[in-house]
């Protein structure tokens, strides 16, 4: 198979939105002597990004960006199938496959050279590596819907639709939980009767693993690029702060603990999720308000967090513009809980070399970074105020495209005197998915 012909589609299929990127790549095998070659991320080239929002509502929208243009359109999509079909037709991928790709090239159908990488949030106990999803796997994956009901069903829907639209392409699932599969048992297990782990696999799985893996890969490049040393930064705490938010303790590139748990509800306060609370509280509310399990689920997942405290919005950027008491309290609580997790993980790692902020809030909010870092001086950490604001301005006005560039993606924001390095980093989960899919293909080839 002429590997240079590879096109990788990365899909993040959420309950009402789809993020879709197309990458091509060249020179991977020429430049890399191993699958962990630090230059390999740089050889994957983003050629297109699309986003569809509000699927199944009257407020649908479509956004596309490629090398030459940006398109924004109000357009309604009845379901995920309609949305994905629209994208494939829009970018002429279906035509491309049927007319050109189906012609046999060098004895291979060229649609073999299309990889579709699906973000899969929860891999449960069994899926700790990327998976080429065959028909049997699809059935097994459906069995995981119960443990992540807010995420896995829409991930599966994306997989099923793409399998029917591009039947000859390889469909690969990349699991967010996989990055945390090496977290030691004493950190991953809950102190409840151990038979619940043995019978039902109940333990901390952790999420945002695709983003954390990307940051680790990027830092391999960064370290080499800046210091000629792959392991210059060993002990890191990474804060992925988006609508969902988590913190991860990373030792030598491996997750050793993380704030989300069996589900993405545990840990930090988030946009609409409560994060850690006393586990007795849901039972008390249920009794007092005569609620059903579904009501409780909705309160903790959809009505809590920034929204629940501010009574106004789940959106951090919007919230930062309000001046009322509840909004200020919500922001204070949000930062406070991040500070507590960083403290825990600095202790777990016995000190840290670096602190990384990423995700929509982590990348764009210099205010949040300043508030958090103000409480970390005991670690010898000192932020550079100017670099911190400049990084936020940069990320707010740049939308990286093409191949990843270290200086665009990694912004050091600590003062020269700081004994802990601090970074704002632009994460790219779709690129990481493409990277892992190519590695999987490489492994199979060898």
The catalytic residues are 176
Closer CB to ligand ADP, 57 or 98, in the complex:
57
The token pair that represents 2 in the structure block? 């002429």
Kindly give the residue spans of alpha helices, DSSP state H, lying in 273-321: 281-289, 293-302, 305-310, 316-319
User: Which residue of this chain has its Cβ atom nearest to ligand ADP in the complex?
Assistant: 360
Residues that bind ligand ADP (CB under 6 A): 242-244, 271, 315-317, 320, 359-361, 364-365, 396
> What is the nearest approach in angstroms of ligand ADP to the Cβ of residue 393?
9
Q: Which is nearer to ligand ADP, 56 or 343 (CB)?
A: 56
In whole angstroms, the minimum distance from the beta carbon of 429 to ligand ADP comes to: 8
Residue 25 pairs with which residues in a beta bridge? Answer: 44
We find the least distance from the C-beta atom of residue 416 to ligand ADP, in angstroms, to be 26
Complex with ligand ADP: residue 256 or 338, whichever CB lies closer: 338
CB of 298 to ligand ADP, least distance (A): 19
Residue 308 — φ and ψ, nearest 5°? -65, -40
Sort strands 18-25 and 235-241 into parallel, antiparallel or unpaired. Answer: unpaired
Min. distance of Cβ 86 from ligand ADP in angstroms? 21
Closest to ligand ADP by CB, 271 vs 275, is 271
| Dist CA 117 CA 109 (whole Å) | 19
- Rg of the chain taking only CA atoms, in angstroms: 22
- Name which of 261 and 362 has its Cβ closer to ligand ADP: 362
Q: What residues does 354 pair with on adjacent strands?
A: 236, 421
Q: Are 307 and 272 in contact (CB under 8 A)?
A: yes
Q: How far, CA to CA in Å, does 132 sit from each of 127, 135, 148, 343, 435?
A: 11, 10, 21, 39, 14
| DSSP states along 17-40 | -EEEEEEEE--HHHH-SSTT-TTG
CA distances to 366, 415, 434 from 385, rounded to whole Å, are 9, 8, 35
Report the SS3 class of residue 299: helix
For ligand ADP, the closer CB: 116 or 330: 330
Shortest distance (Å) from residue 83 CB to ligand ADP: 17
Distance of alpha carbon 112 from alpha carbon 344, whole angstroms: 47
Q: Which residue has the tokens 């007319």?
A: 99
């Amino acid at each position: 198979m002429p590997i240079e012909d590879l096109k990788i589609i990365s899909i993040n299929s959420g309950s009402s939105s789809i993020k879709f990127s197309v990458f091509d790549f060249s020179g991977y095998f020429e430049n890399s002597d191993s699958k962990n070659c630090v230059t390999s991320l740089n050889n994957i080239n983003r050629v297109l990004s699309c986003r569809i929002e509000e699927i199944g509502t009257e407020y649908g929208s479509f956004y596309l960006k490629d090398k030459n243009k940006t398109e924004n359109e109000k357009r309604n999509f009845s379901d995920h199938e309609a949305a994905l079909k629209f994208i494939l037709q829009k970018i002429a991928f279906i035509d491309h496959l049927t007319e050109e790709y189906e012609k046999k090239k060098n004895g291979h159908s060229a649609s073999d050279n299309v990889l579709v990488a699906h973000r899969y949030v929860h891999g449960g106990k069994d899926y700790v590596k990327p998976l080429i999803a065959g028909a049997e796997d699809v059935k097994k994956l459906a069995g995981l819907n119960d443990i992540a009901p807010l995420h896995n069903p829409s991930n599966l829907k994306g997989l099923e639709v793409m399998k029917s639209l591009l039947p000859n392409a390889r469909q690969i699932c990349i699991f967010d939980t996989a990055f945390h599969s090496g977290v030691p048992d004493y950190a991953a297990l809950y102190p409840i009767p151990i038979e619940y782990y043995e019978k039902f696999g109940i333990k901390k799985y952790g999420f945002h693993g695709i983003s954390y893996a990307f940051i680790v890969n990027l830092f391999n490049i960064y370290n080499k690029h800046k210091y000629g040393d792959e392991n210059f930064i060993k002990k890191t705490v990474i804060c992925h702060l988006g609508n969902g938010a988590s913190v991860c303790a990373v030792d030598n590139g491996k997750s050793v603990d993380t704030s989300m748990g069996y589900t993405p509800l545990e840990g930090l306060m988030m946009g609409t999720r409560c994060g850690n609370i006393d586990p007795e509280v849901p039972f008390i509310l249920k009794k007092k308000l005569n609620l059903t399990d579904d009501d409780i689920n909705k309160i903790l997942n959809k009505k809590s967090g920034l929204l629940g405290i501010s009574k106004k919005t789940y959106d951090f950027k919007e919230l930062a513009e309000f001046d009322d008491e509840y909004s200020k309290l919500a922001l204070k609580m949000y930062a406070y809980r991040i500070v507590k997790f960083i403290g825990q993980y600095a202790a777990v790692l016995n000190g840290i070399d670096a602190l990384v902020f990423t995700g929509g809030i982590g990348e764009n909010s210099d205010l949040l970074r300043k508030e958090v870092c103000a409480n970390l001086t005991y670690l010898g950490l000192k932020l550079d105020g100017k670099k911190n604001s400049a990084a936020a301005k940069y990320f707010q006005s740049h939308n990286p495209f093409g191949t990843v560039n270290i200086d665009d993606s990694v912004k050091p924001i600590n003062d020269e005197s700081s004994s802990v390095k601090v970074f704002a980093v632009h994460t790219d989960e779709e690129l990481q998915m493409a990277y892992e899919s190519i590695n999987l293909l490489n492994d199979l080839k060898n």
